[in-house]
Chain A
Amino acid sequence: MRYAIELGLKGLRRHPRTMLLAVLTMALGLAAAMTMLTLMAMLSIDPLPGQSQNLYLAWVDSRQAPTAGDKPGDDASSPPRLLKLADVEALSAAMPQVRQSALVATSLNLDSEDGGKQGSIRAVLATGPMPLMFAVPLRHGRYWSVQEEREHAPVVVIDQKASLKLLGRADGTGQHLRIGKTLFQVIGISGDWNPQPQFYAMQRDESPWGKDFAIQAYLPLRSALDAGVVPLSVQDCDHGDHGGFRFNELDVDACRFLQLWTELTTPDATRAFARLLDGYGRQRHAEGVFAREPQSRLYSVRQWLAANRAVPDSVHLNLWLAVGLLGLCMVNVAGLLSARFLRRSTELGMRRVLGAPRRSIIVQCLTEAGIAGLAGGLLALPMTLFGLWVVRLQKHGYTEQAHLNPLLFLALLALALLVGVLVGVLPAWRATRIEPALQVKSL
């Protein structure tokens, strides 16, 4: 047995050129597949582990009748999502036992009370217990109460960095900040919160990846609107020509600008909410308020990410290319290695004649092929690291975190080994099948 393995090792050194080619080809295919799989795995992460499975985006079609400019294909490539405040509040009133939060993300100007320090940060304006539903970490103080929300109380939760910058200390609870002309009381301090991909307020044609989405302030929506805050976000307004879009105005009654999230923990609750949503759409359509045929949708976070193509098509496409390349490389390596072994069938026949058992021949071939596969797999590692470095050079917002997953590497190493072994088995088997006598005759 030792001798068979030794022979296998020695065999590796013969015809070094084809061996090198085989190992390189294998490494190349594996590195391409590994690079793309790493990127893919990274892009498919759960944005809010532990909580995302309970969150659902709810939408009911409240849009106006389609006009000539609307293309029917628009809905398919990017699903509609926006709702009016009135509808959101009606749904919340219809099922108060279900946690619901309609939100919009915007950049917001915050000043210290004396106006000495000014900041512009990204904020979420929300109805309902948004920070609780979305597991926003709380460092100090508290979130706003139902009472405060009902009374449109000017209260705000900011994160530690904003507190440090605007109020001069990490725990700024109890102090005040100016938004527009209104003084808001800081009631809570949150920790960092920036789920990636940014799923909670995704907009059409906007990449949901990047550090810029970090939220630093949370406000009850009605309080913010009362203070004259106009969300800098997509609006879909009735009767507006050219979308009626303005940077400084928001017609709350005519515009859809909110995305409604619900927390549904059981399948029964999900079904009940879907029924409610559907019934609401039908009722409003019957009343003549919703112009289009009633339709409603409830997306889980996973479905919502897929519908919005959070993983860009180009990444899917590149993965397919890489897998195709891997296939081609494997066939190529199989060809190279079988040519090596078949070339030596005479030699293997000789060993059989001299009394080597079949098992010994098989071990010899498998050792040689397996080590070739392993070498290819190992060589793929530096090549993958290079590939990931190239990926990180592209500025897409999501590429910075492209790092190798060791488990994935082990899986592909196993694949390389498997290909090597499979390729080794065939010639070994052929060699063992030949009658030693025949082999000797042909010499």
Chain B
Amino acid sequence: MRTPFALPAIGPIFAVLRRHRLMPLLVIVQIALACAILTNALSLLQRQLAPMLVDDGIARGQVLLVDQLIQGQGRWNTPAVRTAQHALRDLPGVRAVAPAMGLPMRQSISFVLPVKSPAGVTADVTGYSADGLVQALGLDIVQGRDFTDEEYASTGAIFDKGNRNNVVPVILTEALARHLFPGGGALGGRLGGDEGPDDDSYYVVVGIVRHLLRYQLSELDDGQAEYSLLYPARSFEGLPILSYAVRTDPARRDEVAKAIPALLKQQFGSQLMRNVDPVVIDYESQRRESFAPRRAAVWLLGTVCVVVTLITIIGIASLSGYWIEQRTRQIGIRRALGATRRQILSHFRWENLLLTCAGLLLGLPMALAVNQLLMHYYELPRLPLQWLPIGALALLLTGQLAVFAPARRAAAVPPAVATRSA
């Protein structure tokens, strides 16, 4: 009987709950509704937020993205791409330039490879096909190495089927390596297409980078944010749309960004499709822009969660406050009969706990039902079950927090009250 949470006599609590029905009922309904909203909102919030928290692994303040170079008269050929690459490289302040198909945060073209590891794990992986992207983005190689000149030379262009080598070296992200090779040993491992690796045609993992997000911004959810793979490409024959990643001296990035449009005009001139201007943007701005809808959703869902919690606290606090006030006399009698303050406090806390549990008993199935409905009508995942205990715990704490002040007031009632008439 020392702690405030020592189990008091449950009997009186139930007796009271049976006699007054409206107040407990309102508390239970409130808890149930709050539970249904809160668990679903929290899981949606986590879903929106997760990809934004993943480290993107790209050198801060150094990277420029050049995109939307569309050939007006046909498809790009390798010499033109290389010439422009060298011209960009020669701009003062530029450290590395990578012609690429697929740039982080920009989905101007989508390249997805279905892969299967020897362990039988499959994944639809975003492909970055580029020449020197590790350098240009400042990616951090944690195992293995970057592609060699030889590998670049022997791997054909993506759009050029006949030219493709049977063994293609690739670099994976750490997250993808863990997913595909759950037992470890990703470096040097082989990956196949849909069917898994066979004897003469496969991808071989030569390196692993710490982080690299997919550029399909709608497919960052469910822990797949980093399912990306680098694919060596030095042949750009037949590419309809071209991009470059440019790494600059951090102090001179703005200056380089200003110089690039003129350079592109001079390099490609009339080859570019009329009226479609190339995009030159620094990585951080692009990231902000690409994540803007997610950020808005996070703010919205976060506000909903806070508001729901606040309203629940206000509701429970005022209802319990009233209800405890009603019973001031009974409390006085109990005190006069020898109950300690601690016991009074504990009585109301237990009462609140019981009501919250009753509300959760209603609310948790309701949360699942709401999720089922939403899943049925919209493209939403099943509510991850771990959110149920989290939501329940949050509401139990909310309930205890709300009842704290009224219960303290109740405990402060002096025994003398019992002797007064009202």
- Measured CB to CB, the residues of A under 8 A from B are 18, 21, 25, 28, 68-69, 77, 107, 109, 118, 120, 205, 241-242, 245-248, 313-314, 316-318, 320-321, 324-325, 327-329, 331-332, 334-336, 338-339, 342-343, 394-396, 426, 442-443
Q: Closest CB of chain A to B101's CB: distance in Å?
A: 11
Among A120, A313, A335, max chain B CB count under 10 A is at A335
- Judging by beta carbons under 8 Å apart, are A343 and B275 in contact? no
Q: Give the docked Cα–Cα distance between A245 and B40 (Å).
A: 41
- Judging by beta carbons under 8 Å apart, are A18 and B374 in contact? no
- Judging by beta carbons under 8 Å apart, are A321 and B304 in contact? yes
- Judging by beta carbons under 8 Å apart, are A325 and B379 in contact? no
- Judging by beta carbons under 8 Å apart, are B71 and A248 in contact? yes
Residues on A with C-beta less than 8 A from B114 are 68-69
A68-B194, A247-B71, A325-B37 known; A394-B379 Cβ under 8 A: no
Q: Give the docked Cα–Cα distance between A118 and B159 (Å).
A: 34
Residues on B with C-beta less than 8 A from A69 are 114
Residues on B with C-beta less than 8 A from A332 are 30, 311-312, 314-315
For the complex of A and B, the 4 pairs showing the least CB-CB separation, nearest first, are: A339-B322, A120-B275, A332-B315, A313-B378
A246-B75, A320-B374 known; A328-B297 Cβ under 8 A: no
Residues on A with C-beta less than 8 A from B26 are 331, 334-335, 338
Write the chain B residue with the least CB distance to A118.
B274
Q: Closest CB of chain B to A398's CB: distance in Å?
A: 13
Residues on B with C-beta less than 8 A from A329 are 311
Q: Give the docked Cα–Cα distance between A205 and B379 (Å).
A: 14
Write the chain A residue with the least CB distance to B30.
A331
Q: Give the docked Cα–Cα distance between A77 and B73 (Å).
A: 34
- Judging by beta carbons under 8 Å apart, are A328 and B37 in contact? yes
Residues on A with C-beta less than 8 A from B377 are 316
- Judging by beta carbons under 8 Å apart, are A247 and B379 in contact? no
Residue B337 is within 8 A (CB to CB) of chain A in the complex:
no
On chain B, which size bracket covers the interface?
Answer: 35 or more
Residue B325 is within 8 A (CB to CB) of chain A in the complex:
yes
Residues on A with C-beta less than 8 A from B27 are 335
Residue B422 is within 8 A (CB to CB) of chain A in the complex:
yes
Write the chain A residue with the least CB distance to B321.
A339
Q: Give the docked Cα–Cα distance between A332 and B158 (Å).
A: 61
Q: Give the docked Cα–Cα distance between A246 and B44 (Å).
A: 38
Q: Give the docked Cα–Cα distance between A324 and B40 (Å).
A: 11
- Which residues of B257-316 have CB atoms within 8 Å of chain A's CB atoms? 273-275, 292-293, 296-297, 300-301, 304, 307-308, 311-312, 314-315
Q: Which of B71, B72, B318 contacts A339 (CB 8 A)?
A: B318
Write the chain A residue with the least CB distance to B22.
A338
Q: Closest CB of chain A to B28's CB: distance in Å?
A: 10
Secondary structure dominating the interface of B: helix
Secondary structure dominating the interface of A: helix
- Judging by beta carbons under 8 Å apart, are B274 and A109 in contact? yes
Residues on A with C-beta less than 8 A from B321 are 339
Q: Give the docked Cα–Cα distance between A380 and B53 (Å).
A: 35
Write the chain A residue with the least CB distance to B107.
A205
- Judging by beta carbons under 8 Å apart, are A241 and B37 in contact? no
- Judging by beta carbons under 8 Å apart, are B379 and A313 in contact? yes
Residue B240 is within 8 A (CB to CB) of chain A in the complex:
yes
Q: Which of A25, A245, A394 contacts B240 (CB 8 A)?
A: A245
8 additional contacts (CB under 8 A) given A25-B314, A246-B75, A339-B323:
A21-B318, A28-B307, A120-B275, A247-B241, A324-B36, A324-B370, A332-B312, A336-B315
Residues on A with C-beta less than 8 A from B274 are 109, 118, 120
- Judging by beta carbons under 8 Å apart, are A316 and B378 in contact? yes
Q: Closest CB of chain A to B301's CB: distance in Å?
A: 8
Residues on B with C-beta less than 8 A from A18 are 318
- Judging by beta carbons under 8 Å apart, are B275 and A107 in contact? yes
- Judging by beta carbons under 8 Å apart, are A343 and B325 in contact? yes
- Judging by beta carbons under 8 Å apart, are B30 and A328 in contact? yes
Residues on A with C-beta less than 8 A from B74 are 246, 248
- Which residues of B160-184 have CB atoms within 8 Å of chain A's CB atoms? 161
Residue B137 is within 8 A (CB to CB) of chain A in the complex:
no
Residues on A with C-beta less than 8 A from B218 are 205
Q: Closest CB of chain B to A317's CB: distance in Å?
A: 6
- Which residues of B174-220 have CB atoms within 8 Å of chain A's CB atoms? 194, 218
Write the chain B residue with the least CB distance to A321.
B304
Residues on A with C-beta less than 8 A from B322 are 339, 342-343
Selected A-B contacts with CB under 8 Å, 20 pairs: A69-B114, A120-B275, A205-B218, A241-B159, A242-B158, A246-B240, A247-B241, A314-B297, A316-B377, A317-B44, A328-B33, A328-B308, A329-B311, A336-B319, A338-B22, A339-B323, A343-B325, A394-B292, A442-B422, A443-B422
Q: Closest CB of chain B to A192's CB: distance in Å?
A: 21
A316-B377, A443-B422 known; A394-B293 Cβ under 8 A: yes
Residue B70 is within 8 A (CB to CB) of chain A in the complex:
yes
- Judging by beta carbons under 8 Å apart, are A394 and B374 in contact? no
A107-B275, A247-B71, A248-B71 known; A335-B315 Cβ under 8 A: yes
Q: Give the docked Cα–Cα distance between A322 and B158 (Å).
A: 47
Q: Closest CB of chain B to A391's CB: distance in Å?
A: 9
Residues on A with C-beta less than 8 A from B422 are 442-443
Q: Give the docked Cα–Cα distance between A207 and B309 (Å).
A: 34
- Judging by beta carbons under 8 Å apart, are B275 and A109 in contact? yes
Q: Closest CB of chain B to A415's CB: distance in Å?
A: 17
Q: Give the docked Cα–Cα distance between A426 and B75 (Å).
A: 76
